[in-house]
Amino acid sequence: MRVPFVDLAAQQAEIDDEVRRGLDDVFARTAFIGGEAVQLFEREYAEFVEVSHCIGVANGTDALELALRAVGVVPGGEVILPANTFIATAEAVSRIGAVPVLVDVDDEHLLIDPGAVERAITDRTQAIVPVHLFGQVAPLDQLMPVAEAAGVPIVEDAAQAQGARLHGRGAGSWGACAATSFYPGKNLGAAGDAGAVTTDDPQIAARVRLLGSHGSPTKYVHDVVGMNSRLDTVQAVVLRTKLARLEKWNELRVEAARRYGRLLDDVAGVRTPRTRTGSTDVWHLYVVRVSQRDRVLGELNAAGVGAAIHYPTPVHLTKAYAHLKLTAGAFPVAERAAGEILSLPLHPHISAEQQEYVVERLLSCLGI
């Protein structure tokens, strides 16, 4: 049996006719930039997140950069973010010429540690970026008072948590604004690169739109040096079609995560992920922790199980961020986790048989 890490073909089969009809319409109208589909998607995604504004952009990394610039991050400013995230969170800060200030995470959920954030705040801090890793919402309930007391805006990295909630409030609706990615493998994935910024603040929304369209409020008038980062109309068609199914697909992820839990929770030698109290996770990834992870990963892959690692190297230990001069030992929780984490295949279309096979192979690799 083969169990792919994600199954975009199964997803596409479910939506193929509708996507093709939508694309025919775009090509018939040849409205390739900012067509009707973009406006409709922005409205629908804002409703989904329960905020008043959504600005579609070219990808999640641009969304982070634009969101950070819109809340006032400038060259030389400091931005606090977790050490274990996808590199893009740090890249967005660096692209502005600001300084990523990394902090450690909590051992249970591998989410940014609010105490570490509090200790890292200085008078140069211009934003805090909690990352909603693996489909969980970062501890915004604890971070909001910390940020408010310091007068620093929160920019959520919601790329992995479309539809997740904490105490009933959705990922992407807590901070001054949030950035998200619609990279194909995300819970809501496009057919290529795409992203968005969500916010309740009309000024931040206007600033993101201005910066993402050449700093241009009207054609050939340029108020600031911006960039070209727009949501592609073709991607908007795909995203609208998938957004209509996202709640159902997220429920299927929850069911699949429960099944893994039933099969693995009591197994000594496998540390399974736990949901925080008050949190509705959307299981972008199902991340267990095991010893001898690299051997286990190799054997699983050889047995046709598309397991993976998110992420093998914390940001400060990558070559790209060697200039931060943070050596091994700087963030012990993130570093230890990087050697143990293993993402098992999980997607809306995974079958019970496939999950049972994954577990059987995993237990066999562990000698259980």
Taking the CA of residue 294 as centre, how many other CA atoms within 13 Å lie in the half-sphere pointing to its CB? 4
**What 3-state DSSP class applies to 112?**
strand
Q: Nearer Cβ to ligand PLP, position 85 or 343?
A: 85
Q: How many residues bind ligand PLP (CB under 6 A)?
A: 15
Which one of 22, 35, 56, 60 is in contact with ligand PLP (CB under 6 A)?
Answer: 60
Rounded CA-CA distance 238/300 in Å is 33
Rounded CA-CA distance 317/16 in Å is 42
Angle, alpha carbons 323-328-333 (nearest 5°): 120
Does residue 162 belong to the site contacting ligand PLP (CB under 6 A)? no
Does residue 88 belong to the site contacting ligand PLP (CB under 6 A)? yes
- The CB-of-345 to ligand PLP minimum distance in angstroms stands at 17
Which one of 61, 125, 187, 198 is in contact with ligand PLP (CB under 6 A)?
Answer: 61
Rounded CA-CA distance 154/178 in Å is 8
Distances (CA, A) of 15 to 64, 128, 298: 29, 37, 34
Does residue 84 belong to the site contacting ligand PLP (CB under 6 A)? no
Cis previous bond, 357, omega within 30: no
Does residue 100 belong to the site contacting ligand PLP (CB under 6 A)? no
297: nearest Cα among 284, 287, 258, 263:
287
Quick one: which segment of 57-65, 164-172, 229-237, 292-300 binds ligand PLP (CB under 6 A)?
Answer: 57-65
Q: Nearer Cβ to ligand PLP, position 88 or 288?
A: 88
Asked if residues 139 and 278 have their Cβ atoms less than 8 Å apart, the reply is: no
Q: Which residues contact 221 (CB under 8 A, 6 or more apart)?
A: none
Rounded CA-CA distance 139/213 in Å is 33
Q: Nearer Cβ to ligand PLP, position 58 or 307?
A: 58
Asked if residues 195 and 89 have their Cβ atoms less than 8 Å apart, the reply is: no
Which one of 121, 152, 159, 239 is in contact with ligand PLP (CB under 6 A)?
Answer: 159
Which one of 26, 35, 59, 344 is in contact with ligand PLP (CB under 6 A)?
Answer: 59
Which one of 193, 201, 232, 335 is in contact with ligand PLP (CB under 6 A)?
Answer: 193
Which one of 89, 229, 280, 355 is in contact with ligand PLP (CB under 6 A)?
Answer: 89
Does residue 181 belong to the site contacting ligand PLP (CB under 6 A)? yes
Helices (H), ranges, 217-314: 233-264, 293-302
**Do you know the residue count of the chain?**
368
Does residue 183 belong to the site contacting ligand PLP (CB under 6 A)? yes
Q: Nearer Cβ to ligand PLP, position 192 or 261?
A: 192
Cβ-closest residue to ligand PLP? 60
Asked if residues 275 and 257 have their Cβ atoms less than 8 Å apart, the reply is: no
Does residue 136 belong to the site contacting ligand PLP (CB under 6 A)? no
Q: Nearer Cβ to ligand PLP, position 199 or 355?
A: 199
Which one of 57, 105, 110, 131 is in contact with ligand PLP (CB under 6 A)?
Answer: 131
- The CB-of-285 to ligand PLP minimum distance in angstroms stands at 9
- Phi/psi class of residue 192: alpha, beta or left (left: φ > 0; alpha: ψ in -120 to 50)? left
Does residue 77 belong to the site contacting ligand PLP (CB under 6 A)? no
Does residue 172 belong to the site contacting ligand PLP (CB under 6 A)? no
- Phi/psi class of residue 276: alpha, beta or left (left: φ > 0; alpha: ψ in -120 to 50)? beta
- The CB-of-218 to ligand PLP minimum distance in angstroms stands at 28
Does residue 175 belong to the site contacting ligand PLP (CB under 6 A)? no
Quick one: which segment of 7-15, 80-88, 111-119, 225-233 binds ligand PLP (CB under 6 A)?
Answer: 80-88
- The site for ligand PLP (CB under 6 A) is made up of 59-61, 85-86, 88-89, 131, 157, 159-160, 181, 183, 193, 195
